[in-house]
Amino acid sequence: MTRDHGISIGINGNEFSLFPPLKYAKSDAVLFASFLRDGAKFDEVWLFSDDSSKIRGEITTPSRTRLRRFFRDQFAQPFMSEEDSLWLFFSGHGSQHNGVDYVLPIDGDPEDPKETGISLDWIVEKIRNSGAGEIVLILDMCRT
C-alpha cells in the first residue's frame, strides 16, 4: 500500500522591507495542501505559512530555523518506500547567489541569502532521504 506525503509552504510576508509582501503565496499553499489532503487523499500533509496551525505541537511559522529543523528531523531516516510519493510545494520569494538557488523564509534576508535562506540543494538532499520513489517539486518563486 502506497503512502503519499506532501509539504506545502507559502510565505506572503517577510521581516525585511526590501520587497513588498506577496498577495497569494500563503493562499496558494493552503489550497495546495487542501488539494493534497482532500482531492489526492495524501496520508500526511504538512503546511507552513505566515499563520498556519501547529504540527505535533510545533509552531509552523516558516522561519529559517523552523523549516531547517523540520527538514532535518523529519528526513533524518528513511520512512517511505519506492512505491510512495513525496510532493513539495513552495510559493514565496527566492534568491540566487553564486549559482545557488535559495528559498527565502519569513526571516530571510534577500541581501544575505547564503546565511539566511535555505538552499534548494539542501532541501532536495533532505527529502531524497525520505525513501520515496517519486519526489515532485513545485516551486513558485521569484528570484532576485
Residues 31-72 pLDDT 10s = 999 999 999 999 999 999 988 877 888 888 999 999 999 999
Q: Is 9 buried (19+), middle (13-18) or exposed (0-12) by CB count in 10 A?
A: buried
**Cβ neighbours for 143, distance < 8 A, ≥ 6 positions apart:** 94, 95, 96, 101
Is-above-0.95 flag for pTM? no
pLDDT in tens, 13-26: 888 767 788 999 99
Q: What is the radius of gyration, based on Cα positions, of the chain?
A: 15
Please state, for a pLDDT cut of 90, what percent of the chain lies above it.
78
Q: Give the cell for residue 21.
A: 509582501
What average pLDDT score do residues 89-106 get?
A: 94
pLDDT in tens, 100-125: 999 999 999 988 999 999 999 999 99
DSSP alpha helices (H): ranges in 80-119? 113-116
